[in-house]
Amino acid sequence: MINGERLMIYSGEFHPFRLPVPGLWLDIFQKIKALGFNTVSFYVDWALLEGKQGDFSAEGVFGFEPFFKAAKDAGIYLLARPGPYINAESSGGGFPGWIQRTRGHIRTSAPDFLNAVEGYISKIGPIMAEGQITKGGPILLLQPENEYSHPEDGHVLDKAYMQAVEDAYRKAGIVVPFINNDGLNYGYFAPGTGLGEVDIYGHDSYPLGFDCSHPYNWTGSYFPTDFYAVHEQQSPSTPYAIVEFQGGSFDPWGGPGYDDCAILLNNEFERVYYKNDYSFGVKIFNLYMGYGGTNWGNLGFAVGYTSYDYGGPIKEDRTVWREKYSELKLQANFFKVSPGYLIAQPHNQTNQSEYANTSEINVTPLTTNLTSFYVVRHTDWTSTATTPYTLRVPSSAGNLTLPQLGGSLTLNGRDSKVHVIDYPVGSHVLLYSTAEVFTWTSYGSKTTVLLYGGPGETHEIALETDAHPKIIEGHIGKSKIAGGRLTFQWRVSDQRAIVDIGSLTIYLLDRNSAYNYWVLDLPAEDGSRYSKSDPVIVKAGYLLRTADIKTGMLALTGDLNATTSFEVISAPTKVDGLSFNGRRASHLEESHATGAISAVVEFEVPKSHIPDLLSLHWKTVDSLPEIQPSYDDSKWTKADHTYTNNTETRNLTTPTSLYSSDYGYNGGSLIYRGHFTANGKESAFSIQTQGGEGYGASVWVGEHFLGSWIGDGDESHFTQNLTLPPLTRGKPYVLTVLIDHMGNEESGPIYSDTMKMPRGILDYTLAGRSASEISWKVTGNLGGEDYQDRVRGPLNEGAMFAERQGWHLPGPPTDKFSSGSPSAGVSNAGVSFYFASFDLDMPKGYDIPLSFVFTNSSGIPYRSQLYVNGYQFGKYINHIGPQTAFPVPEGILNYDGTNYIALSLWAMNSTGAKVEGLHLESTALIQTSYGPVELSPMPAWRPRPDAY
């Protein structure tokens, strides 16, 4: 119950840290709200907030007040999941790099680890507490930890740790219920289980897994059938909660790309798998992800690349035209108007033949004293067959076989439906509907119901009435009036039908047309958009965001991608005027038949100029001066620790630790310099580096390039055996090793501490010499954990010379650089940086998302980072991929002013590399009420006196 309202929590996951533009958070919230969802679940990424232990900062793009405010403005509740552990395909699973230096096991009550956790919670806890609903904020629930579920073999879960995390949150002022996210339904920490128990038990489930390379293949997938039964054993006193259900998938380096994930986890997946979850009576349902976003600035874990699109319902560029977005709208709205579902008793799935006339069809009932819901799917849920069936179900009018008027129902392949029996709509009751209910409203004496079906399907409804049906629009099929009951059938087509039965108006839609209807809550008197009553139903197009009615004028806001005809299907008060995005529709039509008003809103194609990137005036600078004899590394960090705490995943095998996090370098890239004096006999150097999946490494002795491990997307570490050129006896040499740091590993299994897998040099041999004859220095980002750029956070920068100087920031001192374009590139192995700026003057009133697109045919091994106004928004690997297009949101891009871009080019072969193609591309042209988008803070370059 939320403020006296019994709600199903229907939620989508969205991570503010993956969209570092507070000015766009309301956009995402509105797009989720427009689906009929009421909640968003979010993680907090500790690694971005406490880059140095004890130095916590949650300001600007990392702030929470604007996130809470945007949620409230949209009328969205929040499920807060601040960790400490989150997983989430984030570097370290959300643990800051310095956690690698803790001695005790992570995610246990080992004192130094717990101390770090309690320090973090003492900072993040009060921020979350301020956002709680009890203080007028949007937060309903808080999830401590995440998937605290998988102890390594030979271990048990440290329940005292879970309890300590909870105690710390309570101490910080959290009063809302705790919910957990068990890594499947193991029953851990359910109420009544003692130490660490939560208030509401919840778990996650990803039945199709994370391999998008066979996007049409569901075979071998796991299909839950007993979730309700297990829930009743584990946590009968709490509403059944699936805190993460699969809404897409992540994709690895070299993977098939997110468009394939969007196919694998598409609208069909949603229909079959989500309806299966409803058959278990799920009451708290969160889809991971609702909007994925971007792993900008090195925040991702090693396995994943920059995009975190996730194949989710809202694309990374924030567009909503994936069909899976529209399908969710049909499902969420149904539950919003079906209070019976919340009290229905789910039945188990095994007793199939009782309801359908064929064993090909599986039926799961949910029943109440009045209404029942029958969830229908193929017994073989992967089936692509079209299967005719009839349904035999009990009802208030006795047992019924549906359809009643002859013929049969059909279930298309990879489809599932919810048939309703004795379903109340206003003061009427549908005896049954085989077509699915999208929504209904009841105002005064008039009730409006929207039903929909799949293409070509036959459907039937019946209700007790003496009234004769009046066809207002389109046509229906057979009908029968007998004994006070009206029954009629129709065949679904893209020509809608409208039938009046007394005071009841029924719209019969095909699914594709239903996608164009929007159900929008009107604000309460105090302006709050949390209310779920009194919505308007409007047929429109691409997106509707908000509705208000004042003195007969319905004011809508939203987005268009084409000229669109609007039709007001239902409203709580009389509507005789319509405005869209503040403009009053001049030509209103009123339908004689339905009384609905309609208007056409023109889409106007704006003029926009998108600059040609490669013809900009580029400046370039060498970014690997470290290999030159004159280079001075006296300010570098000496890698001289003879001891490391980080021995969980491997023992130290070098005289001093060369693990980057031992020296405070936790992301981006790493450079090592190894000094030695030659004896003239060294002929080979072998080095084992570890940078995480997708990484690569290049090695030089003096200015002489020894070779690269270019990486293959899978190997997280590699040993290079390199041949040295003749070295001069008695002469000092420097080995320079550049290593890509792809992010730290996650740490799922408890006690395995995989997050501590070090980055940097693991081992080396200089043939004929003892290892201790090389003395090493190391750098990562300038300052390490005392990071320079407090605005863009602790992980945005890497070790490269130009990054250490801060030249990736807006306004670098390019007058000192030479002219040179990335398309000319370099002819040696090495690192160059390229700089350019361009102005944008994008039209107001439009959302025109832009992507930076690399087009290369050569496959030459190089790595590139893209900085836009100082924010690293792309890590491109030419020979691994798959990502070539890098969306950069408005707010990071200045749509009304100057933009600075910097591009690194790390050529990994001795023959060099060039960026063959790079252009800016718009991925959509949307006329919108949203905007202008406030720019994220983007402080400019200032000289860094301590930079080396």
CB of 35 to ligand GAL, least distance (A): 20
Segment contacting ligand GAL by CB under 6 A, of 26-34, 81-89, 352-360, 856-864: 81-89
Q: In angstroms, rounded to a whole number, what is the distance separating the alpha carbons of residues 914 and 443?
A: 65
Does 8 engage in binding with ligand GAL (CB under 6 A)? no
- Identify which of residues 315 and 777 has a Cβ nearer to ligand GAL in the complex: 315
Q: In angstroms, rounded to a whole number, what is the distance separating the alpha carbons of residues 733 and 657?
A: 21
Does 146 engage in binding with ligand GAL (CB under 6 A)? yes
How far is residue 653 CA from its own chain's centroid?
39
For residue 290, report the phi and psi dihedrals to the nearest 5 degrees. -85, -45
Neighbours of 876 (CB within 10 A): 25
For residue 194, report the phi and psi dihedrals to the nearest 5 degrees. 90, -140
Task: Assign 3-class secondary structure to 850-870.
Answer: EEEEECCCCCCCEEEEEEECC
Q: Active-site residue among 197, 244, 316, 682?
A: 244
Residue labelled with tokens 């009328």:
75
- Identify which of residues 89 and 693 has a Cβ nearer to ligand GAL in the complex: 89
CB of 533 to ligand GAL, least distance (A): 34
Clarify whether 803 is annotated catalytic.
no
Backbone torsion region of residue 613, taken as left when φ is above 0, otherwise alpha when ψ lies between -120 and 50, otherwise beta: alpha
String marking each residue 168-187 x if it binds ligand GAL according to CB under 6 A: -------------x-x----
User: Going along 885-948, which residue ranges are E strands?
Assistant: 885-888, 896-907, 918-922, 926-928
CB of 312 to ligand GAL, least distance (A): 11
CB of 571 to ligand GAL, least distance (A): 40
- Identify which of residues 183 and 784 has a Cβ nearer to ligand GAL in the complex: 183
Q: In angstroms, rounded to a whole number, what is the distance separating the alpha carbons of residues 940 and 929?
A: 30
In this structure, is the dihedral angle defined by the CA atoms of residues 17, 23, 27 and 33, taken in order, positive or negative?
positive
How far is residue 527 CA from its own chain's centroid?
29
* The only residue of 250, 423, 566, 817 in contact with ligand GAL, by rule CB under 6 A: 250
String marking each residue 466-495 x if it binds ligand GAL according to CB under 6 A: ------------------------------
CB of 296 to ligand GAL, least distance (A): 18
String marking each residue 200-219 x if it binds ligand GAL according to CB under 6 A: ----x---------------
CB of 282 to ligand GAL, least distance (A): 17
* The only residue of 197, 244, 415, 559 in contact with ligand GAL, by rule CB under 6 A: 244
Q: Active-site residue among 13, 50, 89, 147?
A: 147
User: Going along 581-703, which residue ranges are E strands?
Assistant: 583-584, 589-590, 597-601, 619-622, 637-638, 668-677, 684-690, 697-701
- Identify which of residues 150 and 790 has a Cβ nearer to ligand GAL in the complex: 150
Identity at 14, one-letter amino acid code: F
Long-range contacts, stretch 520-528, CB < 8 angstroms, 24+ apart: 520/34, 520/544, 520/545, 520/546, 520/547, 520/556, 521/75, 521/547, 522/547, 522/548, 522/549, 522/572, 523/75, 523/548, 528/72, 528/75
Segment contacting ligand GAL by CB under 6 A, of 86-94, 312-320, 719-727, 827-835: 86-94
- Identify which of residues 251 and 890 has a Cβ nearer to ligand GAL in the complex: 251
Number of residues that bind ligand GAL (CB under 6 A): 12
Structure tokens that stand for 354 in this block: 């009782």
Cα end-to-end distance, the chain, whole Å:
59
- Identify which of residues 75 and 183 has a Cβ nearer to ligand GAL in the complex: 183
- Identify which of residues 289 and 411 has a Cβ nearer to ligand GAL in the complex: 289
CB of 23 to ligand GAL, least distance (A): 26
CB of 716 to ligand GAL, least distance (A): 18
Query: Under a CB-based contact definition with an 8 Å cutoff, are residues 469 and 500 in contact?
Result: yes
- Identify which of residues 244 and 457 has a Cβ nearer to ligand GAL in the complex: 244
* The only residue of 74, 88, 121, 850 in contact with ligand GAL, by rule CB under 6 A: 88
C-alpha closest to that of 462 among 477, 479, 474, 449: 479
Q: Which residue is at the shortest CB distance from ligand GAL?
A: 87
CB of 547 to ligand GAL, least distance (A): 34
Largest CA distance in the chain: 109
Clarify whether 147 is annotated catalytic.
yes
Task: Assign 3-class secondary structure to 80-140.
Answer: EEEECCCCCCEHHHHCCHHHHHCCCCCCCCCHHHHHHHHHHHHHHHHHHHHCEHHHCCCEE
- Identify which of residues 86 and 915 has a Cβ nearer to ligand GAL in the complex: 86
* The only residue of 21, 34, 78, 86 in contact with ligand GAL, by rule CB under 6 A: 86
Segment contacting ligand GAL by CB under 6 A, of 85-93, 682-690, 728-736, 777-785: 85-93
- Identify which of residues 86 and 337 has a Cβ nearer to ligand GAL in the complex: 86
Segment contacting ligand GAL by CB under 6 A, of 57-65, 80-88, 255-263, 733-741: 80-88
Q: In angstroms, rounded to a whole number, what is the distance separating the alpha carbons of residues 433 and 419?
A: 6
Does 89 engage in binding with ligand GAL (CB under 6 A)? yes
Q: Which of residues 265-304 bind ligand GAL (CB under 6 A)?
A: 288
Q: Which residues are catalytic?
A: 147, 244
Give the footprint of ligand GAL on this chain (CB under 6 A). Answer: 86-89, 146-147, 181, 183, 204, 244, 250, 288
